[in-house]
Amino acid sequence: MSMLHLVRTSAFQTTDFEQCLNVIQASDTIVLLDDGCYNVNHDLWQIALSKITLSALYIIEAHALARAITIDKQNINTLSLDALMTLICETEKSVTWQ
């Protein structure tokens, strides 16, 4: 019953990511893409880390690099868009936060 959350907006700008964390369950997966990548440096990221196991937290590498966001492997795993597509296939359902 796990859900894939595609987070595309910055928590510094909108409450989309906060809303996402309000409905997240322990077995879910979060993927940060587009401006959602900025969330890895937001206070709310600590909440994500407390609710979801590190292995289910991802950031699209190219999207992070495009924004000069340093990726700390202690906080998040990198993912390619191809791998995201695999994740979409493997997870029963997804919701997009944008």
Partner 1 sequence: MITEVFFIISIVLVNVGHLVKNIAFVITTPPNSNLTATAINIVTSALAMNMSVVGVFFYQDGVLNGSQHVALPNDEYQAHQQWQLLHHKYNIPLHLCATAAEKRGLSDDINDKQTTNVHEAFILSGLGELVELNVKADRLVQL
Partner 2 sequence: MSVTEKSVAILNASAPLSNANAKDSLDVALIFGSYEQTISLYFQADGVYQLIAEQQPELIQQKDFLKTFAALEFYDIENIYVCHHSLNQRGLAEKFSIENVQVLNQDDFAISLHQHQTILRF
Q: Does 95 contact partner 2 by CB under 8 A?
A: yes
User: For residue 37, what are the contacts with CB-CB under 8 A and spacing of at least 6?
Assistant: 59, 60, 63, 64, 67, 69
Using CB under 8 A as the criterion, what x/- string covers residues 75-94 for binding partner 2?
-----------------xxx
CA 47, distance to chain mean position in Å, is 12
Residue 98 as a binder of partner 1 (CB under 8 A): the answer is: yes
**Does 22 engage in binding with partner 2 (CB under 8 A)?**
yes
Q: Are 28 and 56 in contact (CB under 8 A)?
A: yes
Phi-psi label, residue 28: left if phi above 0, alpha if psi -120 to 50, beta otherwise: beta
* CB closer to partner 1, 13 vs 46: 13
Residues binding partner 1 (CB under 8 A): 6, 8, 33-34, 63, 81-82, 84-86, 88-90, 94-96, 98
List residues near partner 2 by CB under 8 A: 1, 3, 15-16, 19, 22-25, 92-98
